[in-house]
Every structure is written in C-alpha cells, then in structure tokens.
C-alpha cells in the first residue's frame, strides 16, 4: 500500500516554462488536495477535488490548473512558471468515511523557478 | 471561515522535560482538530485527532493533546521529550461535515536538546 505518491521529488524550472506535478493515491479516496508550503506561512490550499471530474479552487489557485479524470490521479499543472511559485508542493487525500477525517500526505515536490 | 493560530514559531526544550506546543482555533460549529508532524524533507505525518468524546486524546510516539472548548485550544503535549521529537508541528482544524477542508496553522518548530 503506497499511499500518496508524488513525482518528481525535485525540479528546477526556468521562468516561463511549464510542468506537471504528478500525484496518485491507491487508497480509493474521493478527496484530493494540493498544498504549497512556504517558510513561516504554513500550508496554503491551491486546488482540491471531491471526486473524479470535480475540482475547485482553494486559497491560492492563480498560476495553477488541475484535472481529475480518475479517482487515483490528481495532477497539478504550472503553465508559465514564475519565481513566486518556488515552493514545496504537497498532495494529500482523504476519505469520506466516519472513521477518518484526516489527510494522508505525499512526500512533496520541491520546485525552484529561476 | 476557519483559522488556526500557533503563536510560537519555535519551542525549545531539554530532553526529558515535558513539552507543550500551543494551538488555538476558530471555526463555526463543532471542530475536528488534528496534529501533524513534519520531519526534514518529508511530508506531513498524522499524529492525533480530536473528533468527539474524551477531551484528552492520545496519539503516536507518546504525544497527547487536550481539547478545551471554552478556550478554543488544542495544545500538544508530551511528558518527556526526546531529541528525536525535533521536527515541525502543524495544528489543523476542520468543521463538521465531510465537505469541509482542513485549515493548517503556520507550524511550530520543536527543538529538543540534550
């Protein structure tokens, strides 16, 4: 049982380049989330999804896009990378069952935009 | 709106001494409260949660937290700190209802020294 898997672990982008951060989970969770973590700022929600085909914006969606074509996968797309998007990105998932209201996190993607 | 405050950026404690990491929250209705721990270059790991019932909840690695509704607090505690407890700790809250999302605090760095 792998949980939540994120790839790549590290990436350096040049300004204006695009990339997709991959996230997949094998727990059949309906809910998936993308957060960014900046020093001293905690975690900020970028986008989330409550099921396949349904996505919605979080607190800081500008500059990002997501899709959710399957229950397992929730990729995050950066179209025109900017230095302000230098951060650590975490994907998470949760189920909707009564027993567990917490999240399972991936190990993160450290992105640097230069 | 829901929010979490972690008033201390860093907590320093000597090994063997008790530790407390503070958290206060604001949410409409009844809260679900969580503590997560993050070790360097890793994702967040679930420590413990309060959903309902006993105000004192016990979690992983000997940690516990006390829910205080009147003070809207959920402080993390451990009777005897270990050097290996040194990490970044996040408090999080969500209101009741499966559609609500977790809101995280800014994190508190715990430094345990010999």
The tens digit of pLDDT for each residue in A46-99 reads: 999 989 999 999 999 999 999 999 999 999 999 999 999 999 999 999 887 544
Res A40 pLDDT > 80: no
> Residue B108 belongs to what H/E stretch?
strand B108-113
Please report where in the chains the tokens 């727990």 appear, as a residue.
A27
Calculate what percentage of chain A has a pLDDT beyond 70. Answer: 95
CA distance A54 to B112: 44
CA distance B49 to B65: 8
CA distance B107 to B5: 9
Q: Do A103 and B46 touch (CB under 8 A)?
A: yes
Nearest to A105 by CA among A95, A91, A94: A91
Q: Do A102 and B46 touch (CB under 8 A)?
A: yes
Phi/psi at B97 (nearest 5 deg)? Answer: 120, 130
- Residue pair A55/A38 in contact (Cβ under 8 Å)? The answer is no
Show residues of chain B in contact with A43, CB under 8 Å: 44, 90, 104
Interface residue ranges in chain B relative to chain A, Cβ cutoff 8 Å: 9, 32, 34, 36, 41-46, 49, 51, 90, 94, 98-99, 101-102, 104-107
pLDDT digits (tens, 9 = 90+) for B60-112: 899 999 999 999 999 999 999 999 999 999 999 988 765 668 889 999 999 99
CA distance A93 to A105: 7
Q: How many residues does chain B have?
A: 114
ω into A8 cis (within 30 of 0): yes
């Amino acid at each position: 049982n792998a949980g939540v898997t994120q790839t790549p672990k590290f990436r350096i982008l040049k300004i204006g380049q695009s990339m997709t951060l991959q996230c997949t989970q094998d727990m059949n969770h309906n809910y998936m989330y993308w957060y960014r973590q900046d020093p001293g700022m905690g975690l900020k929600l970028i986008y989330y999804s409550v099921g396949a085909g349904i996505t919605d914006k979080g607190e800081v969606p500008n500059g990002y896009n997501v899709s959710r074509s399957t229950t397992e996968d929730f990729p995050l797309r950066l179209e025109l990378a900017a230095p302000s998007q230098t951060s650590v990105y975490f994907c998470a998932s949760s189920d909707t069952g009564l027993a567990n209201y917490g999240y399972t996190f991936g190990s993160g993607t450290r992105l640097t935009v230069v | 709106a829901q929010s979490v405050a972690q008033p201390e950026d860093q907590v320093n404690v000597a090994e063997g001494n008790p530790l407390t990491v503070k958290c206060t929250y604001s949410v409409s209705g009844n809260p679900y409260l969580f503590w997560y721990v993050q070790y360097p270059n890793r994702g967040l790991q679930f420590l413990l949660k309060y959903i309902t019932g006993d105000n004192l909840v016990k979690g992983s690695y000997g940690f516990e937290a006390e829910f205080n509704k009147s003070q809207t607090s959920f402080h993390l505690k451990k009777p005897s700190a270990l050097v290996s407890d040194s990490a970044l700790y996040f408090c999080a809250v969500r209101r009741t209802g499966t559609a609500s999302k977790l809101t995280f605090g800014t994190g508190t760095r715990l430094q345990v020294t010999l």
